[in-house]
Amino acid sequence: MFKRITFILLVGLLAWAYQAARPPPPNICGSPGGPPVTAPRIRLRDGRFLAYMEHGVPKQVAKHKIIFVHPFSSSRHDLIITISISPEVIEDLGAYIVSFDRPGYGESDPDPKRTAKSLALDIEELGDQLELGSKFYVIGYSMGGQCIWKCLQYIPHRLAGAALIAPVINYWWPGFPANLSSYAYKKQPPQDQWALRAAHYIPWLTYWWNTQKFFPKSSVVSEKPENMFSRQDWEIIRNAKVSGREKHKAYATQQGEAESIFREMVVAFGSWEFDPMDLQNPFASNEGSVHLWHGDEDKLVPVEPQRYIAEKLPWIHYHELPGGGHLLPAADGMSEIILKALLIKE
Ligand SMILES: *[C@@H]1O[C@H](CO)[C@@H](O)[C@H](O)[C@H]1NC(C)=O
């Protein structure tokens, strides 16, 4: 009798856990009842739509064509790389910049089969359909910076140059010495350690973990600023340099969080098909350059693993900014410095 009750309870609990862990289906853009399509979009190889937005000088007269990859929980509207740069400088540089909603964000269709490679191919197709030529630049910030590793791995022959700004790291990249990953991992607040563990080891639980109310969830998902920002970041926020973000935040996840931010966490912190530390220099004859920018007071992404990557990949131009936080590209003059380092050949 007792065994039977336990069994029934257990089945009930499992059924409940499965239901609770299963995210609602995405609210597809352009479908009946879904958000409207307002952006220009291209159709990808598998039929998915990708929404984009053009900035800077018209591409017909541009000297440099750049594809910008946006951060976590954000969209084609968040062009943080141009916050501290004047339109005149963009014009002088002859820079055309196109941003796009990554799969599942904004007005781009979800890609439940997303891999490291599929994102690089999406970027290549965007370049081709917009006729950016045989080579273009890629710049990515934060989680978008992590995506640049995928471009370096899968489409290096299409790149004129690449910049990774405060790129998110994956503590499970095998190239990191165990003591370094565990040291960097433990610098995060315990709630973030747990959220990442869930994303890595039990990905199907990621949605539930970050939407439940019993345990503290990821600081980034719950936007807990005290866990995310450094001294310099607060100064930037006080000066309202990053305002306007709120307006676009709802847009970023309008198709639901499961296929935007939570799919992204699972891909970013899952097991990768390659290790960035094994990459070869894509510009062996110096026809382009790869830059990595990081602030040594970044509270969201620890600096030590970046130093290690820079040591392992000596062809990367590593720029460490004393006092820099995670909002580094919004600091005074930084966008200009970053763009010029990438676009102007010495
Ligand atoms: C990890 O171990 C190596 C070799 O013993 C040492 O040089 C390095 O400083 C250690 N790193 C950390 C973050 O403890």
Average pLDDT, the chain: 89
Across the beta sheet with 136-141, what order do the strands follow?
A: 41-43, 49-56, 95-100, 64-69, 136-141, 159-165, 290-295, 317-321
- Averaged pLDDT for residues 197-212: 80
**Mean pLDDT score, 28-32:** 92
Ligand 1 near 285 CB (within 6 A): no
Ligand 1 atom with minimal separation from the 179 CA: 1
CB of 179 sitting under 6 A from ligand 1? yes
Distance 177 CA to ligand 1 centre (A): 8
Residue 82 — pLDDT band, cuts 50, 70, 90? confident
Two tokens at 139?
Answer: 């710049």
What CATH architecture is 35-343? Answer: 3-Layer(aba) Sandwich (3.40)
Amino acid (one-letter) located at 282: P
Q: What residue's CA is closest to ligand 1, atom 5? A: 179
Q: Which atom of ligand 1 is nearest to the CA of 304?
A: 13
Structure confidence at residue 346 (pLDDT)? 63
Domain residue ranges of the chain, discontinuous segments joined by +: 35-343
* pLDDT of 244 strictly over 70: no
Mean pLDDT, range 249-262, rounded to an integer: 89
Shortest CA distance to 199 belongs to which of 165, 171, 229, 166? 171
DSSP track, 112-178: TT--HHHHHHHHHHHHHHTT--S-EEEEEETHHHHHHHHHHHH-GGGEEEEEEES----TT-TTS-H
Residue nearest to atom 13 of ligand 1 (CA): 180
Q: Per-residue pLDDT tens for 120-144?
A: 999 999 999 999 999 999 999 999 9
Q: How many Å lie between the centroid of ligand 1 and the Cα of residue 271?
A: 24
Q: What is the pTM (predicted TM-score) of this model?
A: 0.91
What is the pLDDT averaged over residues 270-297?
A: 94
Secondary element (H or E) of residue 250 = helix 245-252
307 lines ligand 1 (CB under 6 A): no
Percent of the chain with pLDDT over 70: 94
Pocket test for ligand 1, best of 169, 176, 180, 185 (most atoms within 8 A of CB): 180
Q: Residue 306 C-alpha to ligand 1 middle, in angstroms?
A: 14
* pLDDT value at 9 more than 80: no
DSSP 8-state code for residue 55? E
